[in-house]
């Protein structure tokens, strides 16, 4: 059979607590975690709202500008009669 190393003895609760305190200096760690979670959710929500709202606002502005410019004087492209153009039977 293969030889295996014996398992280490379990640490006492006081030893575990002292080890944890060495790594955790912030007494309000959980509260600060909640604040950080709220901040991240808020920033993500604002980002999603911006992604959803900005295209709608742009489209509405373009439609608004398009209606105003269509009511203004219309400029037609210059027509040159000297060039040979294709005329359809309905145009004759």
pLDDT of residue 80: 60
Residue-number span of the structural domain to which 42 is assigned: 29-53
**Residue 72 domain flag:** no
Give the CA distances from residue 17 to residues 6, 12, 21, 24, 31, in Å, rounded to whole numbers and listed in that order: 24, 9, 6, 10, 20
- How far apart (Å, rounded) are the C-alpha atoms in residues 79 and 77? 6
Quote the pTM value.
0.42
**Residue 36 domain flag:** yes
For 27-77, what is each residue's pLDDT tens digit? 888 899 999 999 999 999 999 999 999 889 989 988 888 655 444 455 566
**Residue 39 domain flag:** yes
- How far apart (Å, rounded) are the C-alpha atoms in residues 59 and 65? 10
**Residue 42 domain flag:** yes
**Residue 82 domain flag:** no
Structure tokens at 6: 């014996």
Residue the block writes with tokens 């979670």: 37
Please tell me the total count of domains within the chain. Answer: 1
Residue 20 in this model has a pLDDT that exceeds 80: no
C-alpha of 31 from chain center: 27
């Amino acid at each position: 059979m293969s030889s295996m190393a014996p398992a280490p003895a379990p640490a006492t609760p006081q030893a575990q607590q002292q080890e944890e305190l060495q790594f955790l200096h912030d007494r309000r760690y959980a509260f600060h975690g909640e604040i950080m979670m709220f901040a991240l959710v808020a920033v993500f929500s604002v980002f999603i709202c911006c992604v959803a709202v900005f295209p709608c606002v742009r489209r509405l502005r373009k439609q608004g500008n398009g209606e105003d410019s269509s009511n203004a004087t219309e400029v037609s492209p210059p027509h040159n009669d000297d060039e040979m153009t294709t005329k359809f039977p309905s145009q004759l």
